[in-house]
Amino acid sequence: MVQKHRLYQDLSYLWPLISPPGDYVEEASVWAEILLNKLGDGPHRILDLGVGGGHLLSHLKCANQATAVDISHEMLSLSKKLNPDVIHYQGDMRNIRLDQIYDAVLIHDSISYLLNEQELFDTFLTAKHHLRKDGVLLLGPDWTKESFPGTTVMHWIKETAIGELTCIEHLYDPDPNDTTIESVFFYLWNESGHLRIEEDHHTTGLFSTSTWTQTLENTGFTVTEDFFPRYEGGYGGHIMIGQL
């Protein structure tokens, strides 16, 4: 059986090497500006659902009072190390309920791991449950149907503490009639003169902008959009904004 999502499990130590915190500075400035425009001067109470390794949050926590949630124990450990001053909880963004209210809920690219409209709706209800009146929900999906490039092979080469690390991704859509796409990753690095190769598979969701908008509106949000420069390979660049 193919093991999925190893980057968030036994290979989680590769995440800070493949996508280091410094890569998120520009995007974080966009998210911070949206919070300022929507909520006024901070600090604000923010809840980061699906925080992952905490790389985006590391640039937002200083000006805000942050709480973080992730389903992966391994990724929470990374985020706690990077953000020791942030409260962390292990939980599922689709159903977690904390006894706290926030000014904003942030869901970065982890939102891409929702695979159908029901999971979107459930997660938006989670956000709504934790938001004050006029609170803001920010979403950063990797792709929409409109931005998805189709079958693509991408690669990155990083000089890291474990040597030269190459990441290769084969991104494709095996069934254009459903709401999921597939990525096959290969991680290659020279480990003491030996080329080590690890394989990883990820299934993520793919929805049209109209589906994002309609589902947010069905949950009670007023919707707007913003944009920032895409990452290498075309990832991201699109922020969906919901406000109660």
| 1 within some domain | no
Task: Write down the pLDDT at residue 143.
Answer: 94
Q: Are residues 201 and 115 in the same domain?
A: no
Q: Are residues 195 and 125 in the same domain?
A: no
Task: Write down the pLDDT at residue 228.
Answer: 75
Tell me the CATH number at 82.
3.40.50.150
Query: How many Å is the Cα radius of gyration of the chain?
Result: 18
Q: Are residues 111 and 24 in the same domain?
A: yes
The model scores a pTM over 0.75: yes
pLDDT tens string, the chain, 244 residues long: the values are 778 999 999 999 999 999 999 999 999 999 999 999 999 998 999 999 999 999 999 999 999 999 999 999 999 999 999 999 999 999 999 999 999 999 999 999 999 999 999 999 999 999 999 999 999 999 999 999 999 999 999 999 988 888 889 999 999 999 999 999 999 999 999 877 889 999 999 999 999 999 999 999 999 999 999 987 676 656 668 899 999 9
Domain count, the chain: 2
**Cβ-based burial of 103 (10 A; exposed 0-12, middle 13-18, buried ≥19):** buried
Q: Are residues 131 and 212 in the same domain?
A: yes
Q: For residue 28, what are its two tokens?
A: 């974080």
Q: Are residues 75 and 89 in the same domain?
A: yes
By C-alpha distance, which of 109, 151, 113 is closest to 4?
113
By C-alpha distance, which of 187, 105, 173, 118 is closest to 143?
173
Expressed as residue numbers, the domain containing 131 is: 6-143+207-243
176: cis peptide before it, omega within 30°? no
Euclidean distance between CA atoms 26 and 190, whole angstroms = 31
Euclidean distance between CA atoms 88 and 77, whole angstroms = 9
Q: Are residues 159 and 220 in the same domain?
A: no
| 195 within some domain | yes
| 156 within some domain | yes
Task: Write down the pLDDT at residue 234.
Answer: 61
Euclidean distance between CA atoms 99 and 108, whole angstroms = 22
Q: Are residues 187 and 218 in the same domain?
A: no
Q: Are residues 12 and 95 in the same domain?
A: yes
Euclidean distance between CA atoms 85 and 205, whole angstroms = 32
User: Residue type at 53?
Assistant: G
Q: For residue 89, what are its two tokens?
A: 């909880």
